[in-house]
């Protein structure tokens, strides 16, 4: 499947959009996404893996649990996704969150505490 087709498929999938929406608000593990959206963990894993592969979301940290397992946390990395149809061809453009925006978000987190 061509990457543009994959982007269209992801954007037309309601669960994928819900995952993007959740990860825009906060960083979450696959288990947390699964619980919040009431979807099987295998489905959450598959969709998050595809979103990460397409550079829509990003793994931002890995935390070792008390049980010795690693938990990956994900966050939306995309500011905007533009899809264009011109001359019979689909194309897309991803705009990622800029570093300045990340600093503002980090500052907001600190100021909330």
How is the chain split into domains, by residue range? 3-112
pTM flag (> 0.75): yes
Helices (H), the chain: 3-12, 14-25, 30-37, 41-53, 99-112
**Structural tokens at position 97:** 């969150």
Query: What fold is seen in the domain 3-112?
Result: Arc Repressor Mutant, subunit A (1.10.10)
Give per-residue burial for 16-31: e unless 16+ CB within 10 Å, then b: beebbebbeeebbbbe
List C-alpha distances in Å: 98 to 40, 67, 78, 79.
Answer: 32, 35, 9, 8
Residue 108 has pLDDT above 70, yes or no: no
- The model's pLDDT over 39-88, given as tens digits with 9 standing for 90+, comes to 999 999 999 999 999 999 999 999 998 888 899 999 998 988 888 889 98
12 CB neighbour count, 10 Å cutoff: 9
**Structural tokens at position 51:** 């979103």
Return the ∠ at Cα 49 (arms to 16 and 61), rounded to 5°. 105
């Amino acid at each position: 499947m061509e990457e543009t087709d994959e982007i269209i498929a992801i954007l037309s999938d309601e669960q994928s959009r819900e995952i993007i929406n959740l990860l825009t608000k906060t960083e979450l593990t696959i288990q947390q996404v699964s619980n919040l959206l009431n979807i099987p963990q295998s489905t959450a894993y598959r969709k998050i893996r595809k979103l990460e592969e397409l550079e829509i979301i990003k793994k931002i940290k890995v935390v070792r649990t008390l049980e010795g397992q690693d938990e990956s946390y994900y966050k939306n990395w995309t500011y905007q996704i533009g899809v264009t149809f011109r001359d019979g061809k689909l194309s897309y453009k991803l705009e990622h969150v800029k570093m300045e925006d990340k600093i503002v978000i980090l500052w907001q987190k600190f100021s909330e505490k």
